[in-house]
Amino acid sequence: MAFTPESDDALVVVDVQRDFCPGGSLAVPDGDQVVPVINRLAPRFQTVVTTHDSHPPDHSSFSRHGGPWPDHCVEGTPGWELHPDLELDPHHKVFKGRDREVDGYSGWSPELADFLSRRGTARVVVVGLALDYCVQATALDARAAGYEVVVLTDATRAVNVKPDDGERALDGLRAAGVREDRADA
């Protein structure tokens, strides 16, 4: 049976951007496969929020500036844009990573928490890219903020810089009280 949200749930779609999909500069293996799952899932929610990784061209996380990652999600570039097949009408976007010196993975912020509180959100459902970085960080921060949190495993993929990073991320999420489910049965 497909995941059925409650009326006070919010769907948080994390970083489903071109640079994190096949052909992008920091592609998550099979990252584009989350798009049709999210497209089927989103209409079931009254509240849909997206996070949008957003870096200046000289971000400290880029390898040419001594960081671990290739240039990615530079604001205003094609790679920064959401995947073109993603069919969302989000009520709110969260831009993260704009500070040159901070490599923030989580989409959670005081502004997002305030927005969800005003919407009466009780449970946060997290999907998107990448499970072992931004999805995990966002889910853990939502949990730390006191929300019940669910990660839908068929609507996320791991980058797996090290083998099994995705499985380790799920272990950490479970240990923090985050529930796993699937968008589609």
Q: What is the pLDDT of residues 14-46, one digit of tens each?
A: 999 999 999 999 999 999 999 999 999 999 999
How much is the pLDDT for 32? 98
* The one catalytic residue among 19, 32, 53, 134: 134
Greatest Cα-to-Cα distance within the chain, rounded to the nearest angstrom = 47
Q: What percent of the chain has pLDDT over 70?
A: 95
SS3 157: strand
Domains of the chain in start order, with CATH, are 9-181 (3.40.50.850)
Which one-letter amino acid corresponds to residue 30? D
Average pLDDT over residues 62-85: 86
Average pLDDT over residues 101-118: 84
Give Cα separations from 106 to 14, 118, 164, 177 (angstroms): 9, 21, 20, 17
End-to-end Cα separation, the chain, in angstroms: 5
* The one catalytic residue among 9, 19, 96, 141: 96
Closest CA to 5 of 175, 149, 166, 154: 149
* The one catalytic residue among 9, 15, 32, 132: 15
Query: How would residue 59 be classed by pLDDT, with cut points 50, 70 and 90?
Result: confident
How much is the pLDDT for 179? 97
Comparison of pLDDT for 153 and 2, the residue scoring more: 153
Orientation angle between helical segments 136-144 and 165-175, nearest 10 degrees: 10
Is 15 an annotated catalytic residue? yes
- CA 21 to CA 43: how far, in whole Å? 22
Q: Which residues contact 118 (CB under 8 A, 6 or more apart)?
A: none
Whole-prediction pTM: 0.93
Torsion of CA 114, 39, 159, 97, to 10 degrees: -30
Average pLDDT over residues 139-167: 96
Query: How would residue 100 be classed by pLDDT, with cut points 50, 70 and 90?
Result: low
How much is the pLDDT for 185? 66
* Position 61 pLDDT exceeds 90: no
* 45 in Cβ contact with 5 (< 8 Å): yes
Is 134 an annotated catalytic residue? yes
Is 93 an annotated catalytic residue? no
